[in-house]
Amino acid sequence: MALFERDTEDFGTDVATRALSVTAVENDFVERVYEKQAKVYDLFFGPALHPGRLIAIDRMGLKSGDRILEVGVGTGINTALYPRDCHITGVDFSAPMLEKARERVERQALRHVRLLEMDAARLTFADNSFDVVYAPYLISVVPDPVQVAREMRRVCRPGGKIIVLNHFRSANALLSRIERALSPFTVHVGFKSDLDLPAFLAQAELKPVSIEKVNRPKIWSLVTCVKD
């Protein structure tokens, strides 16, 4: 698939200026959604989305001592997947989700993992703090995906990896229309179904080195970028 392939309804629209989604959300809405999901997230989104998580970790190419920031750590479902000789920082806006993550980290004695409550659009870390910055299944639910991506880029060191695992709107015109129609409803279970990948990349000034389809069905994209 061409990286910036347009569907017909967007023909002639500049990807750098077009709207990312027909749906807008605010932080308080997102917080309410994930407060409800905290107890059942692993059950509904654990096994189904796990293959993509495993591929994402593999694509990081981690080395001993690497510093990884997971933006949107949720219930901590990824925390046990990282090598124990790396330094993992997980942040999330949802206190109930973080509570589940802390229980998991304590139960599994993951001493190389620290968890912090934080807004992904306003990361409190210094520039160039991490070797890998990773957002799993997050970008399509935050109020401002571009600002989150810019913050991810800021805190990633030069030459480090910025990895986004997410569902994006199909390049197929018919599927695209269906996803746009569904988006106001899918946000209630945690994601916008119509986030525009080419527009997101252009506006966030991210240049992918690879885009892979993952999970079953293959409607999820693993986007790997390297900070120049």
What is the three-state SS of 200-211? HHHHHCCCEEEE
When the pLDDT of each residue in the chain is averaged and rounded to a whole number, the result is 93
| CA atoms of 144 and 147, how far apart (whole Å) | 5
| Angle of CA points 79, 221, 163, to nearest 5° | 50
User: Who has greater pLDDT, 3 or 158?
Assistant: 158
- Which structure tokens are listed for 210? 């690879």
Contacts (Cβ under 8 Å, ≥6 apart) of 12:
none
Please give the C-alpha separations between residue 135 and each of 4, 64, 140, 224, in angstroms, as whole numbers: 21, 21, 10, 11
Q: Please say if the pLDDT value at position 101 is more than 90.
A: yes
Kindly state the tokens that stand for 165: 């695992």
Give the domain ranges of the chain: 28-167+197-226
The residues with which 92 forms a beta bridge, in sequence order, are 117
Q: In what order do the strands lie in the sheet with 130-136?
A: 113-117, 87-92, 67-71, 130-136, 156-167, 220-226, 208-214
Q: What pLDDT, on the 0 to 100 scale, is given for residue 14?
A: 84
Architecture per CATH, domain 28-167+197-226, reads as 3-Layer(aba) Sandwich (3.40)
Mean pLDDT, range 90-119, rounded to an integer: 97
Q: Is residue 203 a contact partner of residue 139, using CB atoms and an 8 Å limit?
A: no
pLDDT digits (tens, 9 = 90+) for 17-48: 899 999 999 999 999 999 999 999 998 899 99
In angstroms, rounded to a whole number, what is the distance separating the alpha carbons of residues 189 and 201? 24
Establish whether the linkage from the previous residue to 51 is cis, with ω within 30° of 0.
no
Low-confidence winner among 4-8, 105-109, 199-203, 204-208 (lowest mean pLDDT): 4-8
The predicted model scores a pTM of 0.91
pLDDT at site 136: 98
Span 79-102, average pLDDT: 97
Burial track 21-49 (b if 16+ CB lie within 10 A, e otherwise) = bebebeeeebeebbeebbeebbeebeeeb
At 2 the pLDDT is: 31
Mean pLDDT for the stretch of residues 80-89:
98
Q: pLDDT tens across 163-211, in order?
A: 999 999 999 999 999 999 999 999 998 889 999 999 999 999 999 999 9
Q: What pLDDT is recorded for position 13? A: 58
CA angle centred on 225, ends 10 and 89, rounded to 5°: 120
pLDDT of res. 190: 85
Provide the terminal-to-terminal Cα distance of the chain, rounded to the nearest Å.
24
